[in-house]
A and B are shown apart, each in its own frame.
Chain A
């Protein structure tokens, strides 16, 4: 495998990791008004993601950084083509981050309610915007010569962007619900499981449709098999949830995302930004890549750095592994159900 392919795979891995991790904190945030009507439940929900959301978000920064680092031609085509959607993503992420911090810095109910809503709203906007961006860069952008967008500010927002937005939102909401059923105990756990059971099959459809479309356009038998695996994982997740095995359901739902994302990126390769105007304007891995020297440097850095990062991030997940209940617990983590 040459370095460009390796880095395309690394970028795909980073985006998948981002969706898997930030997906559940987006989802928990989105479910606050649905499953967190009582303040105690809301606080419990927020505590499940409190120590984790910021670390999860670094996956986004790293994914975008890796796109810039390995494929500046992709970065410089994709971001300006979807200028306003990306600005909205930033807006959502900014207000959400400060809301996490500020929500509890003042003691009135109105204050708490306002910032809780900001967390939900910001997360929804960010999830939809990122989904739109990923949908567009795998299914089509209105690109002319040199990768420059043709048409006005909204020309990038066609059906591919819409499908991507819906797919990421729907995946995240159910992902968040399964996560809550795994991480909490009491009424929130029950309600989250019920929610996930009800919505999981439907919520997987847009993502499967997106993966299926990319596969039909460019795919190979391997991506076809991956697509089937993703579809199968939905059934497994649903069945495991039904019998109350939340950990296995979470793993299966995550595997569904991983398989679908691998289908999408695997089928799209080597195209990183397909043009809806003319396939001659498609941006490919080879057009967009940096030199082999720079890729070699980054490969070494990632080979050393990435395992370390994965190690300590996994360790913090382990430290915060306890199931949470509405009654705050002091001291060391007690028994684990995770």
Chain B
């Protein structure tokens, strides 16, 4: 593999891994802030215990998100320096604003929340958590605005001397319709992740307590019951919003990146009405669209693209020719800029198998998650506790489903825009468009050995971290809300102190660190 392929693998691995933490941070942060608010308002002990239990998982996860997020900011420069030079006038400022306006808020106030139990006034302490959560959401907006600018570059003109985009309208970059759709989609998808976690773990504890014949009247019972109910309703509501925002995003993408969407359907020829493919077989992997056959729902893709059941949707083969005519049949024959791909033919069709299956996994896993949420709500109706082994362990296993949906959604978005790293904006006349091929984005002076080294090192470290992290979270979850002798009386300062011996052996402040 040459530098380009290794660097792409590195970006893919580190970013997908980082994005396992991100939706949980956003979604669970919001829900913990709600729990904490409910405790401050009602003074009911179950809300406090929920805040402490879920808050701890939120923090364990947050730290890994911060740690792996560091890599993101550096790797644009490390492995993708030509990309960084090209997009510098727009992209860097969004990252800097994210750090200035969001990361400081997030980390400073989270530190205050963690160490502030019993030290600062109750409402101020709650406000600190909300500030941190707002920080996470603001951060999501900036980074998605940066990504959406690559998907749909707006607010720029091309500089004649350098050929690079120059920012002329910052507000246009911030209000990019691609960013608005992707941001709302990502936020509600993050809530699905948090909802599934509450449902899966809550059901498991409820069932365990019932089998152990523990009382259904105590606070801990209410903790798990409320967690399941809250998580279930959040998941269902979020699923509806995910579908609506996804539809919005899909319609934008049919206009902005038609090849991404037609690849997602393996729609080879232009069709009117265009069908939705439920299942495809044949040689998706060959990237030869005509080798693919599928079971279809007539007219559905016309609806997804245009809102009616009859419009034409362009096929992959036609689009490939259109793009080749405008953006070139082959890469310029310049190995110093295009590496091994210099002079090669350009394939404007993203990998069909990846686009097709990641799109279906995203939707399918989202639906699984919503189904489990509905089951959990039904099974716990009117104070019931499910004891079905399949149902409860199914829900526990299905905690993974929205994570997979989030990851495949981004894999679809990012791999679906290949071969471009900055996609040409079709709303702009061709002569004024800006675009950049992934092949020309890598750092020219960096050797394959260096990128191999960092790829191996980061993958090994990430793998090891995942093992320890999962082990710690599993242990913590199994332990439940309180395991120490004598649960603290709610509302007193000791309630702010840690719950188990393992926390107290350090110091009172070690709620998280």
Which residues of A are at the interface with B, using a C-beta cutoff of 8 A? Answer: 43-44, 46-47, 50-52, 54-55, 57-58, 61-62, 64-66, 68-70, 72-73, 75-81, 83-84, 86-87, 89-91, 93-95, 97-98, 100-107, 146, 148-150, 152-153, 290-291, 293-294, 297-298, 301-302, 305-306, 309, 312-313, 316, 319-320, 328-333
- CB-CB under 8 A from A332, the residues of chain B are 119
A102 to B96, CA, bound (A): 29
* Additional A-B contact list (17), CB under 8 Å, known A54-B111, A69-B95, A76-B82: A44-B507, A47-B507, A51-B112, A58-B103, A68-B73, A79-B74, A79-B81, A80-B78, A101-B512, A107-B502, A148-B444, A153-B447, A290-B93, A297-B167, A316-B109, A330-B497, A333-B119
Q: Indicate if the CB atoms of B103 and A294 lie closer than 8 Å.
A: no
With beta carbons under 8 angstroms apart, the residue of B87, B90, B509 that contacts A328 is B509
**Candidate in B88, B110, B458, B476 with the most chain A CB atoms within 10 angstroms:** B88
A100 to B105, CA, bound (A): 20
- CB-CB under 8 A from A150, the residues of chain B are 445
Which residue from chain B places its CB closest to the CB of A293 in the assembled complex? B167
Q: Indicate if the CB atoms of B107 and A69 lie closer than 8 Å.
A: no
**Candidate in B70, B73, B95, B446 with the most chain A CB atoms within 10 angstroms:** B70
A-B contact pairs, 13 of them (CB 8 A): A47-B509, A58-B103, A62-B100, A65-B100, A66-B96, A68-B77, A76-B77, A79-B77, A83-B443, A86-B74, A97-B63, A103-B513, A309-B104
A316 to B104, CA, bound (A): 12
A118 to B112, CA, bound (A): 24
Q: Indicate if the CB atoms of A61 and B70 lie closer than 8 Å.
A: yes
- CB-CB under 8 A from B494, the residues of chain A are 330
Q: Is residue B101 within 8 Å, beta carbon to beta carbon, of the partner chain?
A: yes
With beta carbons under 8 angstroms apart, the residue of A54, A65, A87 that contacts B457 is A87
Q: Is residue B214 within 8 Å, beta carbon to beta carbon, of the partner chain?
A: no
A316 to B111, CA, bound (A): 9
**Candidate in A79, A152, A328 with the most chain B CB atoms within 10 angstroms:** A79
A53 to B182, CA, bound (A): 32
Given A54-B110, A87-B78, A90-B71, check contact A72 B99 (CB 8 Å): no
Q: Distance in Å from the Cβ of A306 to the closest Cβ of chain B?
A: 7
Q: Distance in Å from the Cβ of B375 to the closest Cβ of chain A?
A: 32
- CB-CB under 8 A from A305, the residues of chain B are 97, 100-101
A100 to B67, CA, bound (A): 11
- CB-CB under 8 A from A106, the residues of chain B are 472, 475, 502
- CB-CB under 8 A from A329, the residues of chain B are 508
Q: Is residue B85 within 8 Å, beta carbon to beta carbon, of the partner chain?
A: yes
Query: Scoring B residues 487 to 513 as 1 if CB is less than 8 Å from chain A, else 0, what string do you get?
Result: 000000110010001110111111011
Which residue from chain B places its CB closest to the CB of A295 in the assembled complex? B93
Given A50-B510, A97-B66, A319-B119, check contact A65 B78 (CB 8 Å): no
- CB-CB under 8 A from B70, the residues of chain A are 61, 90, 93-94
Query: Scoring B residues 108 to 133 as 1 if CB is less than 8 Å from chain A, else 0, what string do you get?
Result: 11111011101110000000000000
- CB-CB under 8 A from A312, the residues of chain B are 104-105, 108-109
- Interface residues of chain B: helix, strand, loop or mixed (majority): helix
A298 to B92, CA, bound (A): 10
Q: Indicate if the CB atoms of A65 and B107 lie closer than 8 Å.
A: no
Given A84-B453, A291-B166, check contact A62 B103 (CB 8 Å): yes
Q: Indicate if the CB atoms of A84 and B454 lie closer than 8 Å.
A: yes
Q: Indicate if the CB atoms of A298 and B97 lie closer than 8 Å.
A: yes
Query: Scoring B residues 58 to 94 as 1 if CB is less than 8 Å from chain A, else 0, what string do you get?
Result: 0110011011101101101111011011011111111
Q: Distance in Å from the Cβ of B449 to the closest Cβ of chain A?
A: 7
Query: Scoring B residues 454 to 474 as 1 if CB is less than 8 Å from chain A, else 0, what string do you get?
Result: 100110010001001100100
Q: Indicate if the CB atoms of A73 and B85 lie closer than 8 Å.
A: yes
Which residue from chain B places its CB closest to the CB of A320 in the assembled complex? B115
Q: Distance in Å from the Cβ of B108 to the closest Cβ of chain A?
A: 4
Q: Indicate if the CB atoms of A328 and B507 lie closer than 8 Å.
A: yes
Q: Indicate if the CB atoms of A290 and B111 lie closer than 8 Å.
A: no
Q: Indicate if the CB atoms of B100 and A72 lie closer than 8 Å.
A: no
Q: 9 closest Cβ contacts across the A-B interface?
A: A72-B88, A79-B77, A69-B96, A68-B92, A65-B96, A76-B81, A69-B92, A80-B443, A149-B445
- CB-CB under 8 A from B220, the residues of chain A are none
A103 to B78, CA, bound (A): 31
Q: Is residue B98 within 8 Å, beta carbon to beta carbon, of the partner chain?
A: yes
With beta carbons under 8 angstroms apart, the residue of B90, B111, B118 that contacts A294 is B90
Which residue from chain B places its CB closest to the CB of A87 in the assembled complex? B454
Q: Indicate if the CB atoms of A80 and B81 lie closer than 8 Å.
A: yes
- CB-CB under 8 A from A93, the residues of chain B are 67, 70
Q: Distance in Å from the Cβ of B193 to the closest Cβ of chain A?
A: 20
Q: Indicate if the CB atoms of B472 and A102 lie closer than 8 Å.
A: yes
Q: Indicate if the CB atoms of A52 and B111 lie closer than 8 Å.
A: yes
Q: Is residue B334 within 8 Å, beta carbon to beta carbon, of the partner chain?
A: no
Q: Indicate if the CB atoms of B67 and A94 lie closer than 8 Å.
A: yes
Q: Distance in Å from the Cβ of A296 to the closest Cβ of chain B?
A: 9
Q: Distance in Å from the Cβ of A12 to the closest Cβ of chain B?
A: 15
Q: Is residue B168 within 8 Å, beta carbon to beta carbon, of the partner chain?
A: yes
Q: Distance in Å from the Cβ of A300 to the closest Cβ of chain B?
A: 9
A332 to B118, CA, bound (A): 7
With beta carbons under 8 angstroms apart, the residue of A47, A61, A75, A101 that contacts B84 is A75
Q: Indicate if the CB atoms of A101 and B93 lie closer than 8 Å.
A: no
A217 to B503, CA, bound (A): 54
Q: Is residue B2 within 8 Å, beta carbon to beta carbon, of the partner chain?
A: no
With beta carbons under 8 angstroms apart, the residue of A297, A328, A331 that contacts B119 is A331
